[in-house]
Amino acid sequence: MQTASETLLDVRDLSIEFLHRKGNLQAIHHLSLTMQPGEVLGMVGESGAGKSLTGAAISGLLQEPGRIKQGEIWFQGQRIDNLNDNARRQLRGKAISCIFQDPLTSLNPVLTIGQQLTETIRTHLPLTAAEASERAINLLTEVGMSSPAQRMHQYPHQLSGGMRQRVVIALALCVDPQLVIADEPTTALDVSVQAQVLRVLKRLCQQHGTAVMLITHDMGVVAEVCSRVAVLYAGRIVEMGPVAEVIRSPKHPYTRGLINSIPSMRERHAFLAQIDGTMPRLNTLPDGCAFHPRCPNVTEHCQRQQPDMQFKHLSQIACFNPYGETP
Amino acid sequence: MKSEKVLPPEVLSVRDLHIRFQLGREKRSALFRRGAKRELHAVRGINISIRQGETFSIVGESGCGKSTIARALAGLYVPSAGSIKFAWQAEDGNVGRVQNGTQMIFQDPYASLNPRWRIGRSLAEPLVLSKKVGSTRQARNYCGQLLEQVGLAAHDLDKFPHEFSGGQRQRISIARALATQPGFLICDEPTSALDVSVQAQVLNLMRRLQQEHGLTYFFISHNMAVISHISDRVGVMYLGRIVEQGTVEEIFSRPAHPYTRLLIAAIPQFDNPSTEREPIVGEAPNPMSPPPGCAFAARCRFAQPLCQQTMPPVHALSEEHQLECHFPAAVAAA
Amino acid sequence: MINDNLPVRRRTRMAQQWRAFTDSDLLWLFWRSKSTVVAFTCCLVILLCSVTSHWIAPHNVFDTTTFDLMDSELPPSWMSGGDARFWLGTDVQGRDIFSLMLYGLNISLIIGGISVLLSVMLGVALGVLSGYFGGLVDTLIMRFADAMLSIPTIMFTLLVSGVARVVIPKELMGHFAPAILTGAIALTGWMQYARTVRGLTMLEKGREYVMASRISGATHLHIMLRHIVPNVLRPVLVMATLHLSVAILTEATLSFLGVGMPPDQPSLGTLINEGNQYLFSGQWWIVAFPAALLVILSLSFNMLGDWLLDALNPKLR
């Protein structure tokens, strides 16, 4: 039964900190986002920006010394961040599913593909072994594996990287979750295989109506697969909106700098447009806006105060001096 | 009067390079009969010519042999057949390329520096080993200058690698590579492990250093966009062979080989996201047992029986542009 | 350009290192664990006593003129019949137990310490060679280690001691006993280091900084000594601390069995052996105090090594 508000995932003012003997380090600051059923949201940012951490908090995989300092996570109208471990585990795997970066370590090397699939299916659904096996074979066909019946008896090391990642996708989707959190699912794969795997992911999620939170540092992947994108910097979302708008006319100076620094095949210049400096570490965040030391649009106001998210056109920006629409 | 283009001198010439690795034996077929030798033929006949001051790139996916070539050029592997000749040396195959004016930078910034050594010692090591200085202390001022050249500070000499980010460590590796003032730099996927914004900084740094010092780069990557940006000439590798070679304009504007087209099509078009990418079929064959003919035949829509049986010859489409195929006209026209 | 000598600011660098150490996680973990602090203090006190034994021992037990059969078998000073000169009592020859313990401690620590040091050197050297070169060298060394591991420690050391006794004339045994013991214990301990180091060496060998060094013209020796060894020593340190208490106990066992240190240069084990005979005649102090010291000694080192194992584990950081 659908509740009045159809929102699938609602993260409200989430803050995550790491306990440290010298004082706690805050990694995520007041992060808020929503996801609708069936949509594909991209989380983009550099290493250390906090995108994997957000995914971990939502799926309940956040470990000590990290913990949620404040904020709430609502899933399908229910609050989930304060559930106990058992309830969280039931949720994870059934309603929220995860895909990680390295397909080699995501699969158990001593069990066959078939055993892993059927085990997962039977943990969450009341099926007999034969029914689970059949469902597994159907899934393998859906993800585009050739001769799925034979693959069921193979071990992970006998498959190539692309095929393993397809198995991981099949594992993630085998119990029909509402939300899949994919943390850099194609980073470890070759370019041509990457394209295939992304297409599989996109197609399956459209067919099953599954929402996907795609965590990546590759803007190109986001442009291919996602409908909305959130750009993270130093633990905050600095820009969030429809993919076409964010990529075509980025408004936050960081997003604009990021997109400009990607080498493009169309224009070849001697030097790429680079953003000077590096993203600050957790314990050396500057006052005010975290990006201001590197920002071309910086003013004195930026150095003292943290900008809130405001709506501009179809996107939300956290900036005092954003760019306008690109003509 | 025809104006003749004066080409810079050739600094590296690779002829018919083969590299094979012995990997133990197959299982025994009988008690006193050892199994057949298993061999990985990683590089199967490569011809490259690189001129001074240019950036020659090899692009290909994992398993195609590009890293193997890089290490062979660096002197870490001995060629099984063929030759590698630098302009300034007599013979090949010896470790210690620094004498030959060659250095290398690597992919993983976290493993490129000894974690227990201070940066100053790591930077001075090539100088100490090639006997240009007696000890790390003597090279201190020079190493400080090296660090400043790559955008860090001289006082960073006393720090340990773990105090730096990935991008900064890559800069330190570049500084170390420049310590002995080489003319030729082998770059094995130096930006693959870096974020996009850091990658831009490192690529810009490498370009600036090339202009300042007149360096020649041998650049390896699987990222076509990066290759298109920094290369002068490109070689596309597939399963141990270069299937297409040419200037960067020729390769990217008029790609001839189907595999090159596949690689270009596989790049996410983030500035034009609505275009649906070409369907890509199949995966690379097992490098342990390459087919006798063209390795790409199984995935090629122009394939004929001839392609699977015999090795395709090399055709010159233009002065620099070479294609390895049995049916160059049909393939290039498509 | 290259040959100038900028003065290295040594003092500020040392001050920097000291501050980094006092501020480090390691020290903080140390203070948090009360049992480790106690163990460390015990180790420190014991080591101090051992080093200063020559000065703090009230009697010189090696000089036969200083003790007197008339003083034999006196109980500890706080019991009736005890003598204030001999705090913990005397043994059958009239030697002060406390002084004997101090000298015995000295000998136990020296033999234990040097044998561990030799084990480490031998094990690390063979392990690095094995992991670095691979192939035939690796096979030979590792199979040799396997063979050594299949021989029980005590049996091997008994064998070595037994052979030594036959070969070396009785008068010279006193001189050679410590060296033989040390060598025997060292030969049984190197295998664990070799195995651990071999695996780590194979890992480090393939790293890019080693490749960079090779390209710059480094010899194999340079790479092994300067790159590989410093990076594989961390687990060795932990194992050595634990091994120290094992080595001390092994030496004590051998001396207890009578094939270790001779009675005129007693180690703690020899003392326990001697005292054991008198346990049921009532002179319990001859065995009790040396035994207690041995227990405290090996327990302290063991606990310290155990803590180091957790503290130096990078995954727990």
> What was the pLDDT predicted at A327?
55
Interface probe, candidates B66, B226, B229, B260, chain A, greatest A C-beta count within 10 A = B229
- Rounded to the nearest angstrom, the minimum Cα separation between B203 and chain A is 8
User: How many Cβ pairs within 8 Å bridge chains B and C?
Assistant: 79
Q: Which of A275-289, C5-19, C159-173, C279-293 bottoms out in mean pLDDT, i.e. has the lowest? A: C5-19
Q: Which of B225-239, B314-328, C261-275 bottoms out in mean pLDDT, i.e. has the lowest? A: C261-275
pTM given for the model: 0.84
Q: Which of A68-82, B204-218, C187-201 bottoms out in mean pLDDT, i.e. has the lowest? A: A68-82
Say if residue C2's pLDDT is above 50: no
- Rounded to the nearest angstrom, the minimum Cα separation between A195 and chain B is 6
Query: What's the complex ipTM?
Result: 0.86
**Residue B95's pLDDT band (cuts 50, 70, 90):** very low
Say if residue C226's pLDDT is above 90: yes
> What was the pLDDT predicted at C220?
94
Kindly determine whether residue A263 and residue B197, on different chains, have CB atoms separated by under 8 Å. no
Domain parsing of chain A, residue ranges: 244-327
Say if residue C292's pLDDT is above 70: yes
Query: Which token pair is C306?
Result: 């155990």
**Residue A41's pLDDT band (cuts 50, 70, 90):** very high
Q: Which of A63-77, B236-250, C114-128, C275-289 bottoms out in mean pLDDT, i.e. has the lowest? A: C275-289
CA distance A177 to C199: 42
> What was the pLDDT predicted at B277?
52
> What was the pLDDT predicted at B202?
92
- Do B120 and B158 touch, CB atoms closer than 8 A? yes
Token pair 């993203």 is found at A279
CA distance A210 to A94: 12
- List chain A residues with CB under 8 Å of B222: 190-191
Most confident of A271-275, B172-176, C232-236, C313-317: B172-176
Of A160, A174, A185, A179, the closest CA to residue A119 belongs to: A174
The partner residues of A11 in beta bridges, in order of sequence, read A33, A73
Q: CB-based contact (8 Å) between C13 and chain B?
A: yes
Q: pLDDT over 70 for what percent of chain A? A: 97
Interface probe, candidates B23, B114, B188, chain C, greatest C C-beta count within 10 A = B114
The H or E element that residue B263 is part of is helix B258-265
Domain parsing of chain B, residue ranges: 10-26+36-101+182-333
- Do A215 and A181 touch, CB atoms closer than 8 A? yes
**Residue A4's pLDDT band (cuts 50, 70, 90):** very low
Say if residue C80's pLDDT is above 80: no
DSSP states of C174-188: HHHHHHHHHHHHHHH
Strands B233-238 and B241-247: antiparallel
CA distance B154 to A167: 50
Domain B10-26+36-101+182-333 in CATH 3.20.20.70? The answer is: no
> What was the pLDDT predicted at C314?
57
Residues 6+ apart with CB under 8 A from A3: A76, A77
Mean pLDDT of all residues belonging to chain C: 84
> What was the pLDDT predicted at C8?
52
Say if residue C1's pLDDT is above 60: no
Top pLDDT among C86 and B109 is at B109
Top pLDDT among A91 and B321 is at B321
Say if residue A239's pLDDT is above 90: yes
The H or E element that residue C5 is part of is none
- List chain B residues with CB under 8 Å of A217: 195-196
Say if residue A199's pLDDT is above 60: yes
Of C269, C305, C317, the closest CA to residue C154 belongs to: C269
Say if residue A186's pLDDT is above 90: no
Strands A40-44 and A228-233: parallel
* Average pLDDT, integer, range B52-80: 90
> What was the pLDDT predicted at C264?
76
DSSP states of A5-29: S--SEEEEEEEEEE--TT-PEEEEE
- Rounded to the nearest angstrom, the minimum Cα separation between C276 and chain B is 50
Q: pLDDT over 90 for what percent of chain C? A: 26
- List chain C residues with CB under 8 Å of B137: 5, 8
Of C299, C267, C289, the closest CA to residue C115 belongs to: C267
* Average pLDDT, integer, range A31-41: 91
**Residue B93's pLDDT band (cuts 50, 70, 90):** very low
Token pair 């399963």 is found at B239
> What was the pLDDT predicted at C256?
83
CA distance A203 to A197: 10
Strands, E assignment, A104-227: 179-183, 211-216
Say if residue C313's pLDDT is above 80: no
CA distance B88 to C83: 88
Say if residue C5's pLDDT is above 70: no
> What was the pLDDT predicted at B220?
94
Which region, left, alpha or beta, applies to residue A209 given φ > 0 means left and ψ of -120 to 50 means alpha? left
> What was the pLDDT predicted at B98?
56
Top pLDDT among A151 and A265 is at A151
- Using only the alpha carbons of chain A, give its radius of gyration: 21
Establish how many alpha carbons lie within 13 A of residue C84's alpha carbon, considering only the half-sphere containing its beta carbon.
0
**Residue B280's pLDDT band (cuts 50, 70, 90):** low
Top pLDDT among C20 and A289 is at A289
Say if residue A2's pLDDT is above 50: no
pLDDT 10s digits, B115-154: 989 999 999 999 999 888 888 888 899 999 999 999 898 8
Q: Which amino acid is at C127?
A: G
